[in-house]
Amino acid sequence: MSALPGSPEATAVTGLDSTPVEPAPLDLPPLTEQARTEAREIIARYPVARSALLPMLHLVQSYQGYVSPEGVALCAEELGLTKAEVGAVATFYTMYKRRPTGRHLVSVCTNTLCAVLGGQRIMDALSADLGVHHDETAADGSITLEHAECLAACDYAPVVTVDYEFYDQQDVDSARELVAALRRGEKPLPTRGAPLTDFRGIERQLAGFSQYPDAAAAAAAVDAPGNYEPTLRGLRLAAERGEQAPPMRGPEPEPADTGEPRETVRPSGTTGETPGQEAADARVAAADSPAEKAGAAASHPDAPEPAGRRLPDGREGTDTPAGHEPGTSEQRPAEAPPATQGPDGPSRTIEGRGPSRRR
């Protein structure tokens, strides 16, 4: 049963008071020192610590089967974030589970192409067999069932994944057999991709650690046989017909350095503007509608730079100065930019640039 939005249990997990979540079950194993050590190992991979949050959440799921209150607290502590910030990320992505997941996660694509080929019928049949609905776990703890949006395998529709491994071109009978085998503890080979392990194993892989006991087992998983026929069929047809994609154009090669000064773009001589400026003027003049005119004006080389692109110290980009990342203990409120008074009232300015455009 889900905790009610706004309940202490819900807030404990996410730090948000409007997200339905489930408190930790009594038998949930605690996160070990090993988990914390591995979390720090993940953090060390990134130049900015908070970038490690996504794989850290997978790490938590590899230990506890979902993003538990303890896991949220660990991520927040290690990254210097608030629990609300960790919860906001964990509740945004569907791969982060808010309640304990079964041994296997079975995802049934019910998006357009799979749906018209029987995806919803598969979902309904599995739901009846397991006695659960979307995002619920069978009473024996074997399977969590979910419907999924397009799994990016439409050429194999209808598609079911187990722990994110593909079981292609399913129908009601084959999907029911698959789930029955999983409940018996078997691990049928996926139609392509690595051999099946389990939900916690794949979560460990997603955290950036091998889920296999040794290098030989990991290599065997990568080289697992698969049926790629539907994907290769188009390629084969093109080869039979002698069709080819046009060659990719790379960037123009840099001219050889002759030691002479480089030629620069010169005004065309008619208006005193460069050819690029003249072409942009022509696009603005030819625009039919106000929206087209605004678009052409915005892409004009003389258009003022959009707000927010230049950093206060004059550099370009969107990065945040060290120690000022949102949510860190070093965060300070942004200083208000200086205001200037125009003829029709105050207008905001951004340091190093003229007044922004009025709306």
Exactly one of 90, 153, 202, 296 binds ligand FES (CB under 6 A); that residue is 153
* CA-based torsion, 15, 18, 19, 22: positive or negative: positive
157 in contact with ligand FES (CB under 6 A): yes
Q: Are 49 and 29 in contact (CB under 8 A)?
A: no
154 in contact with ligand FES (CB under 6 A): yes
151 in contact with ligand FES (CB under 6 A): yes
112 in contact with ligand FES (CB under 6 A): yes
Residue type, 40: R
> Which of 172, 173, 167 minimizes the C-alpha distance to 191?
167
Question: What would the two tokens of residue 144 be?
Answer: 């969590």
161 in contact with ligand FES (CB under 6 A): no
Residue 337 — left, alpha, or beta (φ > 0 → left; ψ -120 to 50 → alpha)? beta
User: Taking contact as CB under 6 A, which single stretch among the options 51-59, 87-95, 105-113, 295-303 is the one that binds ligand FES?
Assistant: 105-113
- Compute how many residues bind ligand FES; rule: CB under 6 A: 11
193 in contact with ligand FES (CB under 6 A): no
179 in contact with ligand FES (CB under 6 A): no
Q: Quick one: the chain helix, strand, coil %, rounded to 5?
A: 40, 10, 55
> Which of 222, 235, 93 minimizes the C-alpha distance to 155?
235
How many Å apart are CA 240 and CA 232, to the nearest integer?
Answer: 12
The contact mask relative to ligand FES for 113-142 (x = CB under 6 A, - = no) is xx----------------------------
Question: What would the two tokens of residue 316 be?
Answer: 């370009």
Q: Are 82 and 25 in contact (CB under 8 A)?
A: no
CB of 151 to ligand FES, least distance (A): 4
108 in contact with ligand FES (CB under 6 A): no
Exactly one of 79, 125, 132, 159 binds ligand FES (CB under 6 A); that residue is 159
- How far is the first Cα of the chain from the last one, in angstroms, to the nearest whole number? 49
The contact mask relative to ligand FES for 285-304 (x = CB under 6 A, - = no) is --------------------
Question: Which spans of this chain sit near ligand FES (rule: CB under 6 A)?
Answer: 109, 111-114, 150-151, 153-154, 157, 159
